[in-house]
Amino acid sequence: MIITHRRRGSVGARRQLPPGVRARPNTVGYLGPVSELTVLNPGDSLTGTPFTSSDWIGSVLVAHNVTSPVDRYLINAGVVIVEGALPTVTNCVIRPPSSADTGINVNGATGTLTITDTTVEGSYALPSTYQNQGIGGGSQRLISRRCDVSGTGDGIHAKAQPGASFDDGSLIDQCYVHDLTFIDPPDQHSDGIQIFQDATLETWMTVSNSRVDPFYSPGGLAPSSAFTAGAGPTDGLQTLWLDNNGFFTGAYHQRVELSIHNAIVTNNDYGFVNAAAGEFGLVVVTTAGSVATWTNNRDGYGNIVENPNP
């Protein structure tokens, strides 16, 4: 790991991982002093911030037409981006209270949400409130790099995007997801990284150098999966690339389902099956032939895990 040394009190002091290194605890998210962030609480004036045209609805910052980068903010609320072009969010901490149902999410704005070096810390409260996700791209393209997500129901939601190659798709890279919690069962369950698709065209998605650590619901049952991806029977084909990730929890630690095809699954670690927590498998691939390349994927003992449905 490369460590950048900066003087005490310098703005944005952080340790940033070199490209290609898998995320792990305390290496991603916002790593500078929280005291250097501009704080926004529900009801605060938004004049002079990137959210000048936005408003508060309870504990949620409803963002309209954010035209400048959101850089170095501590937001003690959920954020929903509903209008305009999607901004870049970087070097932030987002702490939604239990009354907010999301960390940061897209619902109506268009383009690409780029979120980097940001920490999302949710707040789940029994018995009836929960947060849907820490980071959500809605139907739009999501690029999430070096983010740390904890305390929400699901970690990161993204949708694969139409295009000609992985360069056009969504990307989750060097992200760390941990300590999630949800009502489980019967109505909800946790997933660390969940990939959706609703386009009829071919879509693309990359998840690389990321880590999802074990987390358990209040009922003590295993979450659904560290990683899950698939598409409905009327959707187009989704091409998925999973490389150098650690997926260490879930009834199945990795699920690849339905309309995925030509997937590339390489250099991933799946850890151990924890039968006492309700886990019963490392990987499930439900459609024969959906994986084109499967190499160097290993369990917690270092043994090769074979493609279960070649």
Q: Where are the domains of the chain?
A: 34-295
At 9 the three-state DSSP class reads coil
Dist CA 24 CA 44 (whole Å):
34
For 41, the token pair is: 């609480």
Quote the CA–CA distance of 131 and 107 in Å, as a whole number: 15
Tokens standing for 292? 């084109």
pLDDT digits (tens, 9 = 90+) for 190-213: 899 999 876 678 899 999 999 999
How does DSSP classify residue 43?
Answer: T
207, burial (CB in 10 Å: exposed 0-12, middle 13-18, buried 19+): buried
The rounded distance, in Å, linking the Cα atoms of 37 and 185 is 38
- pLDDT confidence band for 12 (50 / 70 / 90): very low
The pLDDT tens digits of the residues spanning 281-299 come to 999 998 888 899 999 999 9
CA distance 191 to 212: 9
pLDDT band at 27 (very low <50, low <70, confident <90, very high): very high
> What is the value of pTM for the model shown?
0.92
pLDDT tens by residue, 60-84: 999 999 999 999 999 999 999 999 9
Who has greater pLDDT, 289 or 140? 140
Supply 69's token pair: 């980068």
pLDDT bin (cut points 50, 70, 90) of residue 183 is low
Instruction: Give Cα 164 to chain centroid, integer Å.
Output: 23
Tokens of 265: 């699954």
pLDDT of residue 286: 87
